[in-house]
Amino acid sequence: MNDISNLKERNLLAKERLMSMGAERIVPELYGAYFRKTAEFLLHGTYDDLKPERYGASYTNPVYAVSLLGTDMGRLLSFLAYELTAVIPFTAEGDIRLEDITMLYEAFLEVYTAFIAETDGMPGTGASEIPDERVEALTLDVRSILVSFVTDYTDVTVAGRIRDIVDPSRDFAKKIIMESDLNDLSYLDRFGEYVSDDTRRLAEFINSLPESDIESMAETFTGGYIRGFEATGKDLTKKKTANIRYNLGFERLVRASVKSFAKAGLDVTIYRKPLHASVRGGLSRVGYYGDLVNEQMDYDHREDEALFLDRAYIERKLEVVVSTYEEVRELAGVFAGPAVMERFGMKDFEPVNHEESLRLTEKQSRLKTELISREAEIQNKYIPMDERSYTIISYPVPEIGKDFENIFKDVVDINTLSSERYQTTQQCIIEKLEKGNYVEIKGKDGNKTEIRIQLHPIVDINKESVFENCTADVNIPVGEVFTSPCLTGTDGVLHVSQVYINGLIFKELVFNFKDGFVTDYSCANFESEAENKRYIEENILFHHDTLPMGEFAIGTNTTAYAMAKKYGIFDKLPILIAEKTGPHFAVGDTCYSREEEIHTFNPDGRELVAKDNEHTLKYRKDDPMKAYFHCHTDITLPYEELGEIASVDEDGVRHVIIRDGRFVVPGTEELNKPLER
């Protein structure tokens, strides 16, 4: 019997068993209700079952599950219920995901069988009436089943994820995009994602645009990707595959981008966001996806790794990563990197912390950072960072408000602003910045920012540059100058009243730096200091004890800033645009992570020399595991909170760049006009 026939038989047997569970009353009723409801979801569930209005009585909600089933068992069964929600998108893919579906069915049935074995003869018994020793044994059984399920199936889940990244023949989504009648919006339902009315409106709007506009937008997107290779001197002719990541609704633009990449000799991969616990990794949604059916549900399960993350799991997962990359070595070698199309303008989400959720221990947090580092090292062996590139662009969605169409048009204009004009203006700023040994940034009107950025020394000003004159290639739109600071001497306080980072709002965010590293941090999202610190640790520090300042930049795209003010959408801007609308600071790796040895030049011919900091210089050649943190998070200080930016030379002379939110360097006058309007 071949593999697919065997899978189909297993799947059929599992489905028949699920169908029989509706009439069974052979385990204590509180548990029985869980199994019957979850079996029904596996057979007939839809995204309606997962919406916020039903979350209060959903087993995917750890608060509800724990209230009924106790802390330990409630968390375990809530983990399982959430894991099983992947059945909806997997079912849409049919036989190519048959193994994923079948193993989810079988894991659920194995847990059910364990309950039958441990509670035999007690079908009508309340959970509180089961003897403690049986509850304890049952909890251990269920935990063991779930841990084994995640660990043992890494050869399916983890290996499948790697293949999705590099293998263009895994083309479920690409076929929908390239072969569907996009004017018939029912094509959106074929992806198996949750699709809101807002996304249907977006697709309808994109369909209404002239073909010339679509082709121009696609050329901006793919052209930036190609220029990224050219700007860094990387050989694109060695590559055959790019990866497109996007949100549903932009299919017409994605189709045009696929065709544009093809003209450059590149096929594409388009893969779904991660679904299995072994590849989810917090709130990461790398890949394509639809609307978020329940953000609080995703937030409650962001640390589900706590169930299985230990040394044995790490070694097992890394073993699969290595063996899979060996199998796809040729495909990985010609992979060129991601091209990302982001969206913005969705409704705000402020998460609620629930103590019932699974949470990583301090030991597990350290293990997670180790796993991320080791996995990145393996990936870099097969897909070297210094041989690939990327690009990112962003567009609004109708949910942003009544001015959506005008905002969309303005964003398209911003994405195509003249690089040449900005290049000249930014050169004036760089010349003033490079007169100083360090840069001081001070806030105003309640902003407590007062920070000093130590600059790399320049040996020959005619041949070397510290700040990159960034035009529109990998980061669209145009508009910033940036550097990797020296750590020693980079000290002070960074404060932002409100900022959105990775889709989450941070209020009164404060970081303290000493010699370039974060020493303390706080925000005002939650009532307790401990919750606020944990929020930052999870979503900005990513479980590191500290992070260095990897970037200091001055955004110069005042046109984007004025647009945001005009429509009152500054709080909606993605970091991609927001970072161009003021000074910003990144915690984590430098902008040149793993590309320090590549010779990069500014348009004026001077070579960029600020690629390392003291930390990377110490470790990257001999111990890269310690050199990199595998994160880079931008935090933007808006112009209206900015008192002054000035470079200070060895004589103490201040060379002012911005004062009271306005550029004062000769040659930058044009940048102030949008601000005045």
Both structure tokens of 222:
């793919």
CA 151 to chain centre: 24
* 369 & 314 share domain: yes
Backbone angles phi, psi at 380, to 5 degrees: -65, -25
Q: Tell me, yes or no, whether 83 and 142 share the same domain.
A: yes
Instruction: Mark whether 486 and 508 lie in a shared domain.
Output: yes
CB 426 within 8 Å of CB 481: yes
530-550 tens-digit pLDDT: 999 999 999 999 999 999 999
In this prediction, residue 2 carries a pLDDT of: 58
| pLDDT for the residue numbered 126 | 65
Q: Which pLDDT value is given to residue 671?
A: 92
Question: Are residues 554 and 642 located together in one domain of the fold?
Answer: yes
Same domain assignment for residues 217 and 333: yes
Number of domains in the chain: 3
pLDDT digits (tens, 9 = 90+) for 49-59: 999 999 999 99
Query: Does residue 650 lie within any of the structural domains?
Result: yes
Query: What pLDDT, in 10s, does the model give residues 448-467?
Result: 999 999 999 999 999 999 99
Mean residue pLDDT of the chain comes to: 93
pLDDT at 472: 63
**Residue 406 belongs to some domain of the structure:** no
Q: What does the block give as tokens for 508?
A: 């009164």
Q: Can you give the pLDDT at residue 43?
A: 97
- What is the spatial distance between Cα 395 and Cα 250, in angstroms, rounded to a whole number? 10
Whether 147 and 179 map to the same domain: the answer is no
Residue 166 and residue 148 share a domain: no
Report pLDDT digits (tens) over 130-165: 777 888 999 999 999 999 999 999 999 999 999 999
Q: How confident is the model at residue 624 (pLDDT cuts 50, 70, 90)?
A: confident
Predicted confidence at residue 368, as pLDDT, reads 94
Angle between helices 154-166 and 98-118 (to 10 degrees): 160
pLDDT at 121 over 80: no
Question: Using 50, 70 and 90 to split pLDDT, how confident is the model at 1?
Answer: very low
Name the H helices within 85-171.
87-93, 98-118, 132-152, 154-166
Domain boundaries, position 509: 439-676
Domain assignment present for residue 401? The answer is no
**Same-domain check for residues 144 and 173:** no
Q: Which of 52, 50, 43 is nearest to 20 (CA)?
A: 43
Minimum mean pLDDT among 282-296, 382-396, 414-428, 435-449: which range? 414-428
Same domain, 358 and 459: no
Say what the pLDDT of residue 128 is: 63
Confidence class for position 478, pLDDT limits 50, 70, 90: confident
- Establish if 400 belongs to a structural domain: no
Of 274, 326, 276, 324, the C-alpha closest to 159 is 324
Q: What is the pLDDT of residues 486-500, one digit of tens each?
A: 999 999 999 999 888
Domain shared by 23 and 142, yes or no = yes
Between 43-52, 117-126, 129-138, 240-249, the lowest mean confidence (pLDDT) is in 117-126
Same domain for 588 and 666?
Answer: yes
Query: How buried is residue 330: exposed, middle or buried, by Cβ count under 10 Å (0-12/13-18/19+)?
Result: exposed
Give the number of other Cβ atoms within 10 Å of residue 255's Cβ.
18
